Structure 1
Amino acid sequence: MTVVNRVELYHVAYPLEAAFRPSWIPGYPQTENRFDLIRVLTDDGLEGWSAGPAMGRERSGLGDLLAQYVIGLDPTDIDLVQQRLREMSYLGQRHYWIEPAFWDIKAKKAGMPLYRLLGAEGGRVRLYASTGEVRSPAARVEEAEARYREGFRAIKLRVHDFAESADIAQVEAVVRAVGDRMKVAVDANQAWRVTTVSDAPLWDLARAKRFADACADMGVAWIEEPLPMDAYDELAELTRYSRVPIAGGELHTGGLAELRMMIERRCYHWFQPDAVFTGGIAQTLEVIRLCRAAGLPYTPHTWTNGIGFAVNLQLMAAGGDREEGLLEYPVNPPSWTVTARDAVLVAPWTHDRGELELPTAPGLGFDIDHKALRRHGTRFHSSGRFSVAVKAVREKGLRTALEINKARRR
């Protein structure tokens, strides 16, 4: 039986060519794409990778706990992997970003891309250009025109001003310039408000309704996260009221249980879970099934890094509507470029006139550029069976360590 015999954790900080000012963190000039990377190795030579976005080195102590839970596991037993990650969360930290690494191994062991393992065929997916900064109306129009020339036929804007009029003016300018050629969507980034650097606008239901009315009059394609993520009653009311589809669900770390409740209450017209946050691939697959049963569209959030994009690309291929649906493609030059987004991948996820050919390589469909990883990443943990055993003896004593090991074997 294939078992996990080593886990490694890396912190990656890839420099951006220019400062990126994410709309969701007002006042914060981001100069690096930071994420933590996990490598899971098995005794028969397979390896699985996944990644989770990071502000800094907040996961520096994760390795010792993680190793105790996954060394010796059958990596293809996803139910058991989910249970182990659930157990790790009891003290308050959720690490479902780790789970896709085990799917990577499972699909590699089967010799096929994950979406094929999940029963889907190859082909292409259509993309929408997802911006990341708040810009002036003139700058936003220029950006939309650039994405149109590249082949995109849909773009998502960011609005995050204290003044409603400023938000509406930006949307109006873009719709007036490209609305007859491109779908225009808007993300208000209200689900998870961040004020750690500067204050941020806080929408209530009344403001969200006024904005929805304005967007409906302009023919906006959809509005994302116009209210706090846990304002379930208000979200359901807004969704009933709005003439523009309301979308969201990207960072609901309550995973399947929370999203099931939100689907039942119709908190959104369509759901955008990101498997890196919303319970991993296994729970997100069940969310997709529930959306289908409820007649609600699904298309994932992908704004993390190239590996997170790969995870959600596989899910879009397996469970999304590839005829009508659009997959988020984060790009915000000159700062958040494809190269910076995909950082340590051998081959970045480059589009072809607003479409992307699905990968044919086994697993999640990417290869790690180990030279780039050495240059931009730092390995902060590595554990194998022997080191875990030595640590147990050192901390618990030989007798207790043997007792624990005997119980695990049994």
Structure 2
Amino acid sequence: MSKAPIANQPLYKLWGGGNGNDYVTPYSSHFLLETPKSRAAVAARLKSQGWRAMKVKAHYKTLNEDIALCEEIRKQAGDDFTIMVDANKAGLRIPALSPTYVPWDYRRAYETAKAYEQLNVFWLEEPLPRFDLEHLSMLQKSTVVNLAGGEENQGLNEFKDYIDCDCYRVLQPEVNITGPLEVRKILVMAEASGRVVCNHLGDGRFGTILNMHLSGSATNYPWVEMANEQPIGGYESSYAIFENPPIVRADGTIKLPDGPGIGMTVRKELFTDEATPDRAIGGG
């Protein structure tokens, strides 16, 4: 027997509705390594659709290519489009997605950050190994570009270390690792130290919806990561399991779910009482 929701409110309101709005702002997150010109063309298309920001990978072999990537995006998308760059140097590496991956030393990270200053890059994500607190701190103090990271970190103590050592101005806990209640504590620590939180993706479905609620509940959670690698992984495909999927509107925002809890309903046709040969996983 199902139970009716007690408060009948969405999570972001139960958590305080900190930004006073019923919407959040996503950024289009990309994981493949494309040529600078092709990425710039994507950026221009995204902007025409209403998106305000995108994140791209910097896995090129040379510094010049890393710079050319953002130069081309800035040319095509204009000065009012926000660029985030993910270096992925904190440990996680997926060879199929980054075939030209090379580790960075401090000098490469520093030169990249200084070049990105001129291109108004909003953040540089994971430029060095995650526990190299000394060099992360040195790098953050030497650049106006925000450093970001934390997607594989666990426990409040690790995020407190980033704050105490002034390593990252953008904290990125992964909600599927840390959990939403711990993220709320990280939000408080970040706010007290003048930092922002922009969670890692989540699972691209339920976890990302949780991130939307967390963003809507806080004053220091400005961007929500949304995987959107067209045409193979557009965001619409990820949320097709829901009856009421989130839609990026013409102004680049997403309306927060207003139903109780996470406010999402999985399409009924995806459920079955009994597994049948044609519906069972692996059947056919």
- TM-score tier, shorter chain, comes to 0.7 to 0.9
2:122 matched to 1:221?
yes
Asked whether the 8 Å contact 2:10–2:258 carries over to 1, the reply is yes
In structure 2, how many angstroms separate the alpha carbons of the residues matched to 1:377 and 1:356?
Answer: 34
Given candidates 107, 113, 116, the residue that maps to 1:212 is 113
1:147 corresponding residue in structure 2: 46
Matches within 5 A, 1:311-390: 311-321=210-220, 325-353=222-250, 354-372=252-270, 378=281
Matches within 5 A, 1:194-273: 194=93, 200-252=101-153, 254-273=154-173
Query: Which structure shows the bigger proportion of residues in strand conformation?
Result: 1
Matches within 5 A, 1:150-189: 150-189=49-88
In structure 1, how many angstroms separate the alpha carbons of the residues matched to 2:77 and 2:228?
Answer: 18
Matches within 5 A, 1:49-198: 108-120=5-17, 121-194=20-93
Tell me the number of residue pairs that the alignment of Structure 1 and Structure 2 aligns: 272
Secondary structure in 1 matching 2:25:
strand
Deviates more, 1:281-290 or 1:127-136: 127-136
Asked whether the 8 Å contact 1:306–1:345 carries over to 2, the reply is no
In structure 1, how many angstroms separate the alpha carbons of the residues matched to 2:28 and 2:54?
Answer: 5
In structure 2, how many angstroms separate the alpha carbons of the residues matched to 1:244 and 1:376?
Answer: 50
Deviation >6 Å, runs of 4+: none
Secondary structure in 2 matching 1:276:
helix
1:395 corresponding residue in structure 2: none
Q: Cα–Cα, structure 1 residues 216 and 250, in superposed 2: closer, same or farther, change >3 Å? A: same
Bigger Rg, which one: 1
Q: Cα–Cα, structure 1 residues 363 and 170, in superposed 2: closer, same or farther, change >3 Å? A: same
Secondary structure in 2 matching 1:129:
strand
1:68 corresponding residue in structure 2: none
- TM value normalised by structure 1: 0.62
In structure 2, how many angstroms separate the alpha carbons of the residues matched to 1:189 and 1:346?
Answer: 34
C-alpha deviations, 1:84-142, integer Å up to 9, x for none? xxxxxxxxxxxxxxxxxxxxxxxx43221111111215511222222222111121111
In structure 1, how many angstroms separate the alpha carbons of the residues matched to 2:21 and 2:76?
Answer: 35
C-alpha deviations, 1:193-234, integer Å up to 9, x for none? 325665731112111101001101222122111112222222
Instruction: Using the aligned pairs only, state the percent identity.
Output: 27
Aligned Cα RMSD in Å? Answer: 2.4
Matches within 5 A, 1:39-58: 45-46=2-3
2:258 matched to 1:301?
no
Structure 2: runs of 5 or more not aligned: 273-277
In structure 2, how many angstroms separate the alpha carbons of the residues matched to 1:376 and 1:264?
Answer: 52
- Matched letter for residue 104 of structure 2: W
Secondary structure in 1 matching 2:27:
strand
In structure 1, how many angstroms separate the alpha carbons of the residues matched to 2:206 and 2:92?
Answer: 25
Asked whether the 8 Å contact 2:60–2:100 carries over to 1, the reply is no
Asked whether the 8 Å contact 1:271–1:298 carries over to 2, the reply is yes
Q: Cα–Cα, structure 1 residues 367 and 261, in superposed 2: closer, same or farther, change >3 Å? A: same
Asked whether the 8 Å contact 1:158–1:187 carries over to 2, the reply is yes
Q: Cα–Cα, structure 1 residues 110 and 46, in superposed 2: closer, same or farther, change >3 Å? A: same
C-alpha deviations, 1:324-372, integer Å up to 9, x for none? x222222111011123222422222211021011111000121112423
Shift of 1:155: 1.9
In structure 2, how many angstroms separate the alpha carbons of the residues matched to 1:195 and 1:145?
Answer: 27
Structure 1: runs of 5 or more not aligned: 1-43, 48-107, 380-410
Secondary structure in 2 matching 1:329:
strand
